[in-house]
Amino acid sequence: MDAYDEEPEARSGPDGPAGARRAGGPGTPGEDTAPQGTGGDGAAEPTPRTGLAALSPRYRLVAGGALAVVAAVAAVHLGMVFLSLAPANTVSKRHAKAVEGWVYPEFEQNWKLFAPNPLQQNVAVQVRAQVRSEGGDLRTTGWTDLSAEDGAAIDGNLLPSHTQQNELRRAWDFLGTTHGTDNRPVGVRGALSEQYVRRIVVLRLRRDEGLDRAGTIERVQVRSRTVNVPPPEWSREKVSTNPAYRVLPWWTVTGDETEAGAR
């Protein structure tokens, strides 16, 4: 028998393809081989749950309720802010107290940063005082920049107080709109604005400058220092950066203001 007659038998032996198929050798699927992602019996494994679906029904209900509350609060907040900024209408007039109670003072919107009247000046409020010492001597202090003190307290502070940000600034704006060019108060609101600013500066002088330990504050004088913000380098606009001062007359400190500052 020649080699040609032995070839079919050799091919069908244990080392041939047929033998490999019977033994489940490499390159042929055996009885114990299963695709990836399936069990040993060929059944697909369940996909693991993630997110809310991975929680138990009780915690799923709690998480859903919390999300619903957050969404409701966000919707109410956006609605209140919208009504406070929108032109006067029936809804905003009917619920004015509720809107103001929700928005002010923490969520107040100041659009002066944008058109039509962006802020283009830095305004600093400064004060000096006449202090009567225990020996009867009267001395006048130098100017204290209260706005600079507020700026230093806010700079780098992630949670600055509303007082540091707005109390002095809004008090000065209030005084400016209720006084004439001669620095005289206009009506009852003008007198009220003077009293408000005077209380603030006396409190600050006693608390921050310690003037209560040096004697009795008898009079105070307030002024503003206004400097135009310089234009950017690429702008051709030219403005003066020289400071302009608005100096108010001396105010006599009343007894109740002194007591309020002492507290």
Q: How confident is the chain (263 residues) per 10-residue block, as mean pLDDT?
A: 49 51 49 52 65 76 90 94 87 89 79 68 95 90 95 91 90 93 91 94 87 84 94 86 94 75 51
Using alpha carbons, select from 152, 149, 186, 193 the residue that is nearest to residue 170: 193
Residue 130 structure tokens: 């006449």
Residue 16 is predicted with a pLDDT of: 53
Residue 122 is predicted with a pLDDT of: 93
Measured between alpha carbons, how far apart are the two ends of the chain, in Å?
Answer: 125
- Neighbouring CB atoms inside 10 A of 122's CB total 14
Per-residue model confidence as pLDDT tens digits over 134-186: 888 999 999 999 999 999 999 999 988 888 888 999 999 999 999 998 999 99
Task: Check the CA dihedral 162-165-167-170 and report its sign.
Answer: negative
Residues contacting residue 140 through CB under 8 Å, at least 6 positions apart:
128, 129, 130, 131
C-beta of residue 217 within 8 angstroms of C-beta of residue 206: yes
Residue 239 is predicted with a pLDDT of: 87
Q: Do strands 216-228 and 244-247 pair parallel, antiparallel, or not at all (unpaired)?
A: antiparallel
Residue 203 is predicted with a pLDDT of: 92
Within a 13 Å sphere around the CA of 232, how many CA atoms are in the beta-carbon half? Answer: 2
Alpha-carbon distance values, 203 to 143, 208, 209, 217, 258 (Å): 15, 8, 10, 11, 8
Q: What is the gyration radius of the CA atoms in the chain, in angstroms? A: 40
Measured distance CA(97)–CA(61) in Å, rounded: 35
Residue 30 is predicted with a pLDDT of: 47
Residue 189 structure tokens: 């609101």
44 SS3 class? strand
Per-residue model confidence as pLDDT tens digits over 219-234: 999 999 999 998 888 8
Using alpha carbons, select from 49, 123, 51, 109 the residue that is nearest to residue 78: 109
Q: What is the dihedral of CA 57, 59, 65, 70, to 10 degrees?
A: -140
Residue 153 is predicted with a pLDDT of: 92
Instruction: Give pTM, 2 decimals.
Output: 0.60
The one-letter amino acid at 147? S
